[in-house]
Amino acid sequence: MTNVVVIGAGLGGLPAVHELRSLLPKSDRITLISDHSHFTFIPGLIRVALDMASLDSLQIDLEPHTKRLGIDWISQKVTDLNPHTQTITVEGGQTVDYDYVAIATGASFAFDAIPGLGPHGGYTQSVCTADHAIHAREAWLKYLENPGPLVVGAAPGAGCFGPAYEFLLMADWELRRRGLRDRATLTYVTPEPYIGHLGVSDVKNSQKYTTELLEERGIQTIVNAEITHISPDTVTLKTGEKLPFSYSMILPAFRGAKFLQNLPAIANAKGFIPVNPTYQHRDFPSVYALGVAVALDQPDKTAIPIGLPKSGAMTEAMAVAVAHNIAVASGAISGPFQRPTLESVCLAEFGDTGIVYVAIPVLPDPTLGERQNSYALKGRWVVLGKEMLEYYFMVKMRWGLGMPWFERLGLRILFQVNIAKPYTYKPV
């Protein structure tokens, strides 16, 4: 009997569990460990923060869900992982053995990197977690009583910019809908080298469409910006420029999970895990990683350092490949190992319109120095597309499905995106 543990129950962890359950024999044991009692569809939290959706519609209670699927459930925070003894320790001292472990722990947030940053102990909002979104909604409803300057953006080192653009433009749309837009000034402040970069350079039409949209909405933009300090009502930049605000949502830089930051044998100094093409740890073959937990370097040299986005599409592709590779390694299925392509499609909702950003792949081919393809498309249909995607994804998660063949086919037909490809060399 093979014993597989998945750490983390987010956009990577829960799909990985579903894939594993479909690939492994019923006699094999799958354990899911998470300190969160619910799965949350993180991309939907922007609408929760702006009081446009309920949190309940984006969550799944994990205890009955895992029980129904025959998956062991441990609702605790991981405090240690020993790759030599192949054991995991959780709060309270319980240890869990594994034959293979898939680390899908997502991010911890570097709010401490800037004085005054963050919703807890700071003065800015975030949409990175369900708790952050609820806090942001409370502040948003108070802001609507007396609108003023609104500052949205990202901290130095951030790699996830899409939610900042979505929050900014959806806030603009909501203010207009309520007849309050003339009482607010909107500013977007970012370490990106240009508007529409989003951590991925040279995506065709991305800069053009995104810049045009912000200009049409009368939104001020500041690029190559380094936020150094935040007071209760002011964002201060390294240049000395001060941006007053009545409400501010600033995305932080990411780090790996806390326990990974304390494991130099497993992760780098920021807590991210180096992997080979099959997303197996380079030194410990029983350890796999996916999603934000993976160490991926930003290839662009920018004036202000930024990270590389690890989108939901990329994370789910990693989950599919990791589950497949564990099944192959354990002997449950035959065939070649897989490598996730990191071909990404991101549907961004901007109120009454939207933009889809496609990068094939996100990381340019190192030998050619360029991508196979990349493009952005704009239109009202993107909003409907994202709504349908969210509905489909939540149904899929509730049913306990991984990524079915028709979803992979649809991505290829609609966006030319492939999830994973065979990797012919056995991982070390």
**Residues with catalytic function:** 160, 346
The helix (run of H) or strand (run of E) holding residue 134 is helix 130-145
Give dist(CA 172, CA 67) in Å, integer: 43
Token pair recorded at residue 413: 């037909």
Environment class of residue 418 by beta-carbon count within 10 Å: exposed (0-12), middle (13-18) or buried (19+)? middle
The helix (run of H) or strand (run of E) holding residue 19 is helix 13-23
190's CB contacts (< 8 A; 6+ apart) are 153, 154, 161, 164, 221, 222, 223, 225
Give dist(CA 296, CA 310) in Å, integer: 9
The DSSP symbol for 183 reads G
| Neighbour count for residue 301 (Cβ, 10 Å) | 7
Residue pointed to by tokens 């869990």:
96
| Neighbour count for residue 83 (Cβ, 10 Å) | 17
Q: Which amino acid is at 171?
A: A
Cα-based distances in Å from 151 to 124, 224, 399, 416: 9, 16, 39, 36
The phi, psi pair for 81, rounded to 5°, reads -140, 125
Contact in structure between 99 and 89 (CB atoms under 8 Å): no
Contact in structure between 235 and 227 (CB atoms under 8 Å): yes
Break the chain down into helix, strand, coil percent, rounded to 5.
30, 25, 45
406's CB contacts (< 8 A; 6+ apart) are none
395's CB contacts (< 8 A; 6+ apart) are none
Give dist(CA 277, CA 275) in Å, integer: 7
Contact in structure between 30 and 6 (CB atoms under 8 Å): yes
